[in-house]
Copies of this chain bind each other. A is one copy, B any other.
Amino acid sequence: MGISAEESASLYSISIFTFVLWLCIVVGHLFVKHRWMNESVAAILIGLLSGTIIMFTSQGKSSRILVFSEDLFFIYLLPPIIFNAGFQVKKKHFFRNFITISLFGAVGTMISFIIISLGAYGIFRRFDIGQLELGDYLAIGAIFSATDSVCTLQVLNQDDTPLLYSLVFGEGVVNDATSVVLFKAIQNFDLQHVDASILFQLLGNFLYLFATSTLLGIAIGLLSAFCVKWIKFGMHSTDREVAHMILMAYFSYILADLLNLSGILTVFFCGIVMSHYTWHNVTEKSRVTTKHAFATLSFIAEIFIFLYVGMDALDIEKWKYVKNSPGQSIAVSSILIVLVMIGRAASIFPLSFLSNLTRKNPLLKINFNQQVIIWWAGLMRGAVSMALSYNQFTRSGYTQLRGNALMITSTITVVLFSTMVFGMLTKLLLKFLQPFESGNEIVESLPDLPNPNGIRNPLLENGKPISVFHGFFSSSDHGIHYYWRKFDNAYMRPLFGGRGFTPFVDGPPTDQMAV
Interface residues of A (CB under 8 A from B): 1-3, 7-8, 10-12, 14-15, 18-19, 21-22, 25-26, 28-30, 32, 70-71, 74-75, 180, 183-184, 187-188, 227, 231, 233, 236-240, 242-244, 246-248, 250-251, 254-255, 257-258, 260, 285-286, 288-289, 291-293, 295-296, 299-300, 303, 388, 391, 506
Contacts and interface: CB of A to CB of B under 8 A. Distances in A.
21 contacts: A1-B183, A1-B187, A1-B391, A2-B184, A2-B187, A10-B75, A11-B258, A18-B247, A22-B244, A22-B248, A28-B240, A29-B231, A29-B236, A29-B240, A238-B296, A243-B296, A243-B300, A285-B288, A286-B292, A289-B292, A292-B293
B293 A289 contact: yes
B184 A1 contact: yes
A32 B251 CA distance: 24
Nearest to A39: B240
Contacts of A285: 288, 292, 506
Contacts of A303: 243
Given A29-B233, A236-B29, A254-B15, A3 B260 contact: yes
Contacts of A233: 25, 29
B391 A247 contact: no
A175 to B, nearest CB: 15
A12 to B, nearest CB: 6
A299 B239 contact: yes
A11 B254 contact: yes
Nearest to A1: B184
Copies in the complex: 2
**Most B Cβ at <10 Å: residue of A183, A286, A296, A388:** A296
Contact of A242 (B29, B187, B255, B293): B293
**Most B Cβ at <10 Å: residue of A255, A293, A391:** A293
Nearest to A32: B236
Given A18-B254, A188-B2, A25 B240 contact: yes
Contacts of A2: 184, 187-188, 391
Contacts of A184: 1-2
A246 B296 contact: yes
Given A242-B293, A247-B22, A300-B246, A255 B15 contact: yes
A250 B289 contact: no
B391 A257 contact: no
A26 B244 CA distance: 8
